Structures are given as C-alpha cells and as structure tokens.
Amino acid sequence: MSLRETEIQYLPGVGPKRAEALKAEFGVSTASGLLRIYPYRYMDRSRLTPISDVRSGAAYVQVRARVKAVWLYDAKGEIAPERIAELKFNTVKRMKAVVEDGSGEMDMTFFRGIKWTYEKLAGGGEFIFFGRPEEYAGRMSIVHPEIDKVEAALSGPGAVTSGSNGTATTTGQAVTSGAKGCPKTSFTGIYPSGEKLKNSGITGKVMVKIMQSALNAALPYQQETIPDYLLKRHRLVPLRYALRNIHFPESQEALASATYRLKFEELFFLQLSLLKQQYRRTRADNGIKMPKVGEAFNKCYSSLPFPLTGAQKRVITEIRNDMKSGHQMNRLLQGDVGSGKTMVAVLSALIAVGNGCQACIMAPTEVLAQQHFKNISRYLAPTGVKAALLTGSTRTAERREIHAGLEDGSIGIIVGTHALIEDNVRFKRLGLAIVDEQHRFGVEQRAKLWRKNQDCPPHVLVMTATPIPRTLAMTLYGDLEVSVIDELPPGRKPVVTLHGTEAKRLGLYRFIKEEIAAGRQAFIVYPLIFESEKMDYQNLENGIEEIRRHFPFPPYKIAVVHGKLDNEEKNFNMEAFSSGRANILVATSVIEVGVDVPNASVMVIESAERFGLSQLHQLRGRVGRGSDKAWCVLMTSHKLSKESKSRIELMCRTENGFEIAEEDMKMRGPGDLEGTQQSGLPIQLNIASLAKDSLLLSQAREAARAVLEEDPTLSQPQNVLLSTELRKDKYCIRDYSSIS
Ligand code: ADP
Ligand code: MG
C-alpha cells in the first residue's frame, strides 16, 4: 500500500510555523492525521441571532447588521475623523465598529488587521459577523469576529435550523461517497483551539480552510478501516463519506451518520482490542469446568435469612454460567457499599466446593478478613463446609493445621489477607479465587494467587465497592466481564448528608450527644492521605484532644484507630466500637474498607474536601445499615474551591454511588476518576465520549464480540482490515489480564 502522506506544512496556507503549532496542539503532522481532529461543535451559519438576544458567554453567535459608525484609537485615545484620511495605520491600536440590526446595537472590536478591516467596513453596508460575544464596559462586543458581506454569506443552500452534532446518534443509511469535493453547507465546524494556534494566526476560519486543504490532499488516500460486511451490518457510512461530512456537513442527516460512524469506529476498535486479549486468554487457559451447583449451595440458599435481591440473583446466574462454561472466569463484581456482595461471594465459593474444588476469599485488611470470616461462617453453618481464617496474626500451630487442611482438601473455603498468597500456602485444588476491594492489591500479589492451582488457573472474581461508571469499567477492565449489583437490599434507610463548617461545630457535638443518649454510635473520620504526613497526624491528634474535651469520660467512651497503631491495638479498639462499648470511633480512613456497625448512625468526615468522591461515598456507606435514620456530616473549611464545593453539593444531593461516579467523570473527565489511577485510557478518543456515549459503547462492544466469536484471531480474509487497523501505533493497549 503506497500511502501518500502530505505533511501539514505543505498544505496551502500553512507553512512550517503553523504546522508546528498544529502539531503542538493536536499531535499530528500529516494531512491524514489532521482529518482525525474533528469539530467539537458546529455553527449553523444560516441561523442569525438578533442583537437584542446576544449574551456574553461561551456560545458563538452570528449577527446580521449594518455598520453604523467606525472609530479608531491610538495610544492617546480616539482619532478625530478628519485625521483619518492621511492616517498611517501603524499607530492605530484599536478599532471599534458600532453595528445595528433593528433590534439593537453592539460593537465589533479589532486589535489587529485594522487597515484591511477598516477599508472593508468604513464604507458602511450590511455584514454577517460571527464570533464569541463578551460584555465589555457595559456593551456587548465581539473581538475579531469573522466578517462576510451579506450577499456572499447567504448564498448557501436553504435554511437549516439546528447546528450542533453533539447528540447525533441516529443510525445513518449507508451512503456511497459519490460527490466530489466539498459541497457548500450552512454548517461550519468549530475546532478545538489553543493559545499556540491563536498566536500563529490560526483562527476558526483559518482552521476551516486548513481542513479543507487537508481534505483535498488526503481524503482520496484514506483507507476504509471497517470491512464491508460490518458497514452493512451496523449501517455505517463509508470512511471517506464520514470524514468529508464530519468536517463539511452536507446536511443534518449526513452529519448525524458521519458522527455515528466515527464514534462507532473509535469505540469498536477500542473494544475489539480489549476483547481480543480476553479471547486470547480464554482460549489459552482451559478453565475448570464446574457443571453442578452442588448440594452445599442448595443447603445454604434454602436457609438464607432473607430472599436475595433481584440483582444478587442475576449476578449469581452470570457467575454460575461462567463457571460451568469450561473457560476461565475473569469477572469484576461491582456493587455499592451494602449491596450484599458477601452473599454472592459465599454462594459462588459453594459452587466451587460443590464441584470438588476449594475457594479462597482475600480481603485487604485483617479487620475485614475477620469480619468476612464471621459472616461467612454463619452462612456456611447449614452446609457442613469447613472454612478457616488465615491472616498475618494466625498463630503458628493453627497456621500449620490450616496449611494441612488446604493441602488435603478438608478446608473448603479459606478467608484471609495477604497471608493467603505466601508460597507455603498450597491448595489441593483451588477452583475459585475471590478478591475483595481489588484496588488495594498489587499486581504481583494477584498474579501469585492465580498461580495457586497447578494444572490451570482458578476462576477469578474481583469484587469492588468503588463504583465505576459501566462504560468506564468496560474500558478499564475491558477484558474482564463486568457484573453489577445495582440494587440495595430492602430496608436500608437513606442517609441525610449535610455540609458543615466550623461555625456549626458545637451544634454538631450537641447532636452527637443526643444520638449517643438514644443508644447510637458515631464515626469521626480524619483524612490521612499520605500516611507519613506529619500535618495529618497533627490534625488528628488535635482533633482527638478536642473531642475528648467535648466528650469526657465518663460517661463517653472514645475508641481511636489509625495507621500508627499496631495491629493488636487497632483490633482491640475496633472491637470496642463494633461491640458497642465505645460511643465514638475516631479514625483515619482505615474504616473505609468495610466495617459493619449497624448501630452507628452518624458519620462525621473532617476536611471532607480532601477526600475523593468515591472515598466519601464509601465512608458514608458505613452508616444507615441498621434500621434507624442516619446522618453524614461533611465538615470543610469555610473557603472552598468551586470544584470542591460542587463535589460536596453532589454528595449532599445523591446517595447513588454510580450516579456519583458518573457525575465525577463528567466533572473531571475519566482520566482523573478515582480508583482508576492505574490507567489512563488505552486509546485516545477523539469524538466518542465514555460519559455520553454509553449506549453506543455497549453496542460497539457487542459488535466486537460478534466478530471475535467467529474469528478470534482476526485471521479470516474478511477481517484483514481489522487486524491491519489494530496494528497501528495508536492502539497501545495495556494487557489488563496480567493486572487483574
Ligand atoms: P457489601 O459487601 O456489598 O458492602 P454486605 O455483603 O456486607 O455488603 O451486605 C450488607 C448487609 O446487607 C449485610 O448485613 C447483609 O447481611 C445484608 N444483606 C445482604 N443481602 C441481603 C438481602 N438480599 N436482603 C437483606 N439483607 C441483605
Ligand atoms: Mg463488603
């Protein structure tokens, strides 16, 4: 394939300097590359705004107006009209044109190109002005508008009434790219811009011209990336048609089908590359086949103290289907705090046991492992399955016994911490490994766990309470299957969330005392972002002191838990609180990971602005587990950044973890989303948005799956285009299978 790549700098009107600016802004240096930089919105050039409706702000407007007066200014101020005739324009600093359209008047302001613009406007007449209005000294003004003589501007095709492609998702009919060149249209693309572009004179209008040149130079050489049968199957327009219309739409419909095609393409290849890895792995590793549900499962199920929620049932079915499939399961289980993941873990583990295997459940902390063990043992009682707990503090004699029990298979389910992955822990036949709160485990540790079974890897279930928007999960964990428990068990009370500042602190303490008097307990949490940060401990210590002053012993009992305590002391204090002996637990964020104290009704989070949204959400989930009303108070300093403020407001407004995650993603973009720091996105998305195109993302994933179902290695002739595309540099997909 002879790909003629025109360098941007050789395009008409570009040159080396502008080419450099374009490269700095978009990271592309060829005309083909430039074609993949899409407008982020469109201006409908046939739509005019009356001057009386012009408001300052982000939106571009187009006004059709007559020039009423033109003023020139130099360093001394206004230049008298009689001086203008013999004026050398090099002393002019600014020009102002006052324009009117019958509904009102406004200014057009120029600091550059004044001579030329003056000659154009000073004669009067009617023009179309296009640009971003700003209010300046009480008057509406557009700085450096684009200007067109009225006749020229209105010679396009008939009026079209809407301009933005942002939501265009209609499926386009396949259209053949017949028409040559770029027909005139009333839509004009508005491209991302930056300081560098502006400084090198690449205004919106210039950018459009450059795109036109790029299109002329490179469009004929654009190779289709999606095979014909897929274009037909998904009713996608051909690449060249899409590229032409994304930049210069012929019509609203053409724009919609171009947008759809290009978004689909991005998401499809993203998913194709991720799923291809998944297929590679599931084909290579033969999973342990678990055809039965087994007696233990049934016994446990029939003696549950409550009916499973619909979501729990659905997820268990998904897991069960994976485990009997003969392929290794790699599933991410997402469920909000309190959604009942433990139950799902237990029933899944029992499927493994029912098929002659063992299961392990690994938790990130000793406290959590103990808690899991306690709960799980309760559920296991009717089954006769033997469970054990293995942590760093398990005594040597007991440890030996457990090791033996795992090796001879008498222990069916082992719960524990990192101690589980030590080399001397060997299983008779490990069939399922469950990891709770996945993001706390390192890559290496998980990999070790997967190797605990000799002949083939165990099924893997990763549980996380950090809600990740589904679309993001599909991408970040694209090679894992994702299950979501999107329903809380009945009877949970909403948690009232309030924003508090220092001025309200005494009132807060009074309120906590009332709750304690009513037999309830309270958490007070301090940030400890870096465990070594002196400041944080200083704050914590001051805080504890203050709380002791306000809640003196007797009658109040305060338990303290933080990272500097040794395990024994930590466990002791934690136990004091969970058993109800202590009224208040003062803690750093260690409690984030799952203690269950149903009697606690108040969660106070100090310096809440320093916590991430999902952390706040996790912490809040610690209350409202009992039958009483619960409160979460987010304490912040009086001064808050705008972003912090809207985050706190979001927390006060909703309790839905997925909504919080979605909003967080919208506010900050997916790259910054908490719990996902381990990865940027595997490819850069130029047109699709994980936040906005979730439906399309699922469709693209299904489409990719269907292709791989038939041709897992993409080696059949009809898929040559796909494997060619995936070999391009831009798909630098990391292998998540080795991470999770
Ligand atoms: P998670 O680990 O997802 O945060 P847990 O598994 O700890 O949640 O469950 C939270 C609480 O809800 C536990 O006390 C558990 O006994 C209870 N629970 C779980 N499933 C149900 C259900 N289907 N109906 C009622 N209560 C349930
Ligand atoms: Mg849990």
Per residue in 382-398, pLDDT (tens digit) is 999 999 999 988 999 99
Distance (Å, whole) CA 196 – CA 528: 40
Residue having the nearest C-alpha atom to atom 19 of ligand 1: 340
* Contact of 111 with 88, CB cutoff 8 Å: no
Task: Calculate what percentage of the chain has a pLDDT beyond 90.
Answer: 47
Quick one: pLDDT at residue 330? Answer: 82
Quick one: pLDDT at residue 287? Answer: 82
Would the pLDDT of 310 be above 90?
Answer: yes
Average pLDDT over residues 324-337: 85
Report phi then psi at 519, rounded to 5. 90, 10
10 Å CB burial of residue 10 (0-12, 13-18, 19+) is: middle
CATH superfamily, domain at 46-175: Nucleic acid-binding proteins (2.40.50.140)
Kindly provide the b/e burial profile for residues 444-480, where b requires at least 16 CB atoms within 10 angstroms of the residue's own CB. eebebbbebbeeebbbbbbbbbbbbbbbbbbbbbbbb
Residue having the nearest C-alpha atom to atom 1 of ligand 1: 338
Would the pLDDT of 444 be above 70?
Answer: no
Name the pairing type of β-strands 630-635 and 495-500: parallel
Q: What is the CA(594)–ligand 2 centre distance, in A? A: 6
Structural domain spans, the chain: 46-175, 295-324+340-464, 495-654
* Contact of 649 with 638, CB cutoff 8 Å: no
Q: Lowest-confidence range among 170-184, 207-221, 233-247?
A: 170-184
Q: Please choose, from the candidates 360, 351, 350, 347, the residue with its C-alpha nearest in 3D space to the C-alpha of residue 308.
A: 347
Q: Lowest-confidence range among 157-161, 212-216, 524-528?
A: 157-161
Output 692 or 364, whichever has higher pLDDT.
Answer: 364
Strand partners, 436: 463
Report residue 740's pLDDT band, with 50, 70 and 90 as the boundaries: very low
Q: Which residues line ligand 1 (CB under 6 A)?
A: 306, 308-309, 312, 335, 337-343, 465, 489, 596
Which of 136-150, 234-248, 441-455, 623-637 shows the highest mean pLDDT?
A: 234-248
Distance (Å, whole) CA 655 – CA 636: 19
Give Cβ neighbours of residue 127 (< 8 Å, ≥ 6 apart).
64, 65, 66, 67, 99, 121, 147, 148, 149, 150
Report residue 68's pLDDT band, with 50, 70 and 90 as the boundaries: very high
Say whether 295-324+340-464 and 46-175 share the same fold.
no
* Contact of 349 with 339, CB cutoff 8 Å: no
Q: Please choose, from the candidates 470, 450, 449, 372, the residue with its C-alpha nearest in 3D space to the C-alpha of residue 416.
A: 372
* Rg, C-alpha atoms of the chain: 32
Q: Residues 710, 715, 719, CA angle at the centre, nearest 5°?
A: 75
Q: What is the CA(233)–ligand 1 centre distance, in A? A: 43
Quick one: pLDDT at residue 682? Answer: 57
Choice from 342, 614, 620 to test ligand 1 binding pocket (greatest atom count within 8 A of CB): 342
Strand partners, 126: 66
Closest-lying ligand to the alpha carbon of 491? 1
Q: How far lies 370's CA from each of 284, 441, 521, in Å?
A: 36, 18, 21
Quick one: pLDDT at residue 559? Answer: 94
Quick one: pLDDT at residue 236? Answer: 97
Please identify which residue in the block is written with the tokens 């599933």. Answer: 331
Residue having the nearest C-alpha atom to atom 2 of ligand 1: 341
Residue having the nearest C-alpha atom to atom 9 of ligand 1: 340
Output 692 or 321, whichever has higher pLDDT.
Answer: 321
Per residue in 543-560, pLDDT (tens digit) is 899 999 999 999 999 999
* Contact of 271 with 698, CB cutoff 8 Å: no
Quick one: pLDDT at residue 171? Answer: 28
Would the pLDDT of 650 be above 50?
Answer: yes
Return the SS3 of 461: strand
Report residue 59's pLDDT band, with 50, 70 and 90 as the boundaries: confident
Would the pLDDT of 245 be above 60?
Answer: yes
Would the pLDDT of 185 be above 70?
Answer: no
Distance (Å, whole) CA 552 – CA 558: 9
Return the SS3 of 221: helix
* Average predicted confidence (pLDDT) for the chain: 84
Would the pLDDT of 369 be above 80?
Answer: yes
Average pLDDT over residues 75-101: 86
Return the SS3 of 110: strand
Distance (Å, whole) CA 568 – CA 590: 15
Would the pLDDT of 662 be above 90?
Answer: no
Name the pairing type of β-strands 94-100 and 105-110: antiparallel
Quick one: pLDDT at residue 403? Answer: 96
DSSP code string of 383-411: GT--EEEE-TT--HHHHHHHHHHHHHT--
Report the phi/psi class of residue 77: left, alpha or beta, with left for phi > 0 and alpha for psi in -120 to 50.
Answer: left
Distance (Å, whole) CA 245 – CA 258: 6
Q: Lowest-confidence range among 421-425, 499-503, 640-644, 732-736?
A: 732-736
**Tokens coding 274:** 């991720």
Would the pLDDT of 159 be above 60?
Answer: no
Would the pLDDT of 735 be above 50?
Answer: no
Distance (Å, whole) CA 390 – CA 396: 11
Quick one: pLDDT at residue 162? Answer: 34
10 Å CB burial of residue 529 (0-12, 13-18, 19+) is: middle
Distance (Å, whole) CA 593 – CA 362: 13
Give Cβ neighbours of residue 604 (< 8 Å, ≥ 6 apart).
500, 508, 512, 522, 523, 524, 525, 632, 633, 635
Residue having the nearest C-alpha atom to atom 25 of ligand 1: 489
Quick one: pLDDT at residue 281? Answer: 65
Domain 295-324+340-464 classified CATH 3.40.50.300? yes
* Contact of 634 with 499, CB cutoff 8 Å: yes
Q: What is the CA(342)–ligand 1 centre distance, in A? A: 7
Start-end of H helices in 41-149: 81-84, 114-121
Quick one: pLDDT at residue 737? Answer: 39
Average pLDDT over residues 719-733: 81
**Residues making up the chain, counted from first to last:** 740
Q: Report residues near ion ligand 2: CB below 5 Å.
A: 594
Residue having the nearest C-alpha atom to atom 18 of ligand 1: 340
Q: Please choose, from the candidates 192, 175, 268, 257, the residue with its C-alpha nearest in 3D space to the C-alpha of residue 36.
A: 192
Output 115 or 234, whichever has higher pLDDT.
Answer: 234
Distance (Å, whole) CA 479 – CA 285: 14
**Tokens coding 553:** 């012993």
Distance (Å, whole) CA 304 – CA 698: 35
Q: What is the CA(174)–ligand 2 centre distance, in A? A: 49
Quick one: pLDDT at residue 594? Answer: 59
Report residue 674's pLDDT band, with 50, 70 and 90 as the boundaries: very low
Per residue in 29-43, pLDDT (tens digit) is 999 999 999 998 887
Report the phi/psi class of residue 27: left, alpha or beta, with left for phi > 0 and alpha for psi in -120 to 50.
Answer: left
Strand partners, 97: 70, 108
Quick one: pLDDT at residue 610? Answer: 86
Start-end of H helices in 108-251: 114-121, 150-153, 195-199, 204-218, 228-233, 239-247
Asked, as a colleague might, if the bond just before 238 is cis with ω within 30 of 0, I would say no
Average pLDDT over residues 244-267: 94
Per residue in 593-645, pLDDT (tens digit) is 557 788 999 999 999 998 888 788 888 988 887 767 899 999 998 888 888 89
**Tokens coding 224:** 């289709």
Q: What is the CA(338)–ligand 2 centre distance, in A? A: 7
Quick one: pLDDT at residue 308? Answer: 95
Q: At what angle do helices 341-354 and 310-324 cross, to 10 degrees?
A: 30
Quick one: pLDDT at residue 180? Answer: 39
pTM for this entry: 0.60
Ligand 1 atom nearest 345 alpha carbon: 6
Task: Calculate what percentage of the chain has a pLDDT beyond 70.
Answer: 85
Choice from 301, 306, 620 to test ligand 1 binding pocket (greatest atom count within 8 A of CB): 306
Quick one: pLDDT at residue 83? Answer: 81
Half-sphere exposure of 523 (CA within 13 A, CB side): 36
Quick one: pLDDT at residue 82? Answer: 80
Q: What is the CA(374)–ligand 2 centre distance, in A? A: 12
Residue having the nearest C-alpha atom to atom 10 of ligand 1: 338
Strand partners, 414: 360, 388
Would the pLDDT of 184 be above 70?
Answer: no
Residue by residue, what is the 3-state secondary structure of 264-306?
HHHHHHHHHHHHHHHHHHHHHCECCCCCCCCHHHHHHHHCCCC
Closest-lying ligand to the alpha carbon of 596? 1
Second-level CATH architecture of 495-654: 3-Layer(aba) Sandwich (3.40)
Quick one: pLDDT at residue 668? Answer: 61
Would the pLDDT of 717 be above 90?
Answer: yes
Is the CA virtual torsion 721, 723, 729, 732 positive or negative? positive
Q: What is the CA(373)–ligand 1 centre distance, in A? A: 14
Ligand 1 atom nearest 598 alpha carbon: 14
One-letter amino acid for residue 241 of the chain: Y
Average pLDDT over residues 674-699: 67
Residue having the nearest C-alpha atom to atom 17 of ligand 1: 340
Q: Lowest-confidence range among 144-153, 461-470, 481-490, 511-520?
A: 144-153
One-letter amino acid for residue 625 of the chain: R
Residue having the nearest C-alpha atom to atom 15 of ligand 1: 340
Output 242 or 181, whichever has higher pLDDT.
Answer: 242
One-letter amino acid for residue 562 of the chain: H
Residue by residue, what is the 3-state secondary structure of 308-369?
CCHHHHHHHHHHHHHHHCCECCEEEEEECCCCCHHHHHHHHHHHHHHCCCEEEEECCCHHHH
Would the pLDDT of 176 be above 50?
Answer: no
Choice from 339, 592, 625, 658 to test ligand 1 binding pocket (greatest atom count within 8 A of CB): 339
Would the pLDDT of 3 be above 60?
Answer: no
10 Å CB burial of residue 195 (0-12, 13-18, 19+) is: exposed
Q: Lowest-confidence range among 87-101, 137-151, 543-557?
A: 137-151
Would the pLDDT of 294 be above 80?
Answer: yes
